[in-house]
Amino acid sequence: MSEAISIDKATSQQLRRLLKDKRTALAQALGHRDEISVVRAADVIDAMQLSQERSIAVESLDLETHLLRQVDAALARMDEGTYGTCLHCEDQIPEKRLRALPWAILCLGCQERHERRNPRRSAAPFGEAA
């Protein structure tokens, strides 16, 4: 098993700030759920359009909720001292990848293998709920 990524204190603080900012933005977005309200329309076409818009809003809410859990998990790994370690192979996740995707749980090689095996569930590795 590899040790957690060794990044300098300034980089660690920057990544933590990125994660906290993302968490704040997601929490605010999740607070605006009015798009999901059920509105009846007399016209069949209007009703279909409203239904489609509601479906899109629910899908967006699901994705934002999943990402919020990933961000929270990354912050927890930072607190535990395991941040930056691939959850599959236990190698270090490169700093460049963490800067691009601070909540990453897989190194690039494991992520690519996962996406090839699970093309529809690439955002939810190892059976996580999408």
DSSP readout, 66-78? Answer: HHHHHHHHHHHHH
127 Rama sector, left if φ>0, alpha if ψ -120 to 50, beta otherwise: left
**pTM value?**
0.72
pLDDT in tens, the chain (130 residues): 444 446 788 888 999 999 999 999 998 887 766 556 666 777 888 878 888 887 887 888 889 999 999 999 999 999 999 999 999 999 999 999 999 999 999 999 999 999 999 877 554 544 343 3
Which burial class, exposed, middle or buried, applies to 69 when counting CB atoms under 10 A from its CB (0-12, 13-18, 19+)?
Answer: middle
Alpha carbon distance 49, 40 (integer Å) = 11
Location of structure tokens 């279909």? 48
Fold of 9-127: Four Helix Bundle (Hemerythrin (Met), subunit A) (1.20.120)
Position 20: which residue type?
K
Residue 93 is predicted with a pLDDT of 94
Task: Count CA atoms within 13 Å of residue 72 on its CB side.
Answer: 8
Beta-bridge partners for 85:
92
Alpha carbon distance 72, 25 (integer Å) = 13
Spans of all domains in the chain:
9-127
Residue 127 is predicted with a pLDDT of 38
Contact 74, 82 (CB under 8 A): no
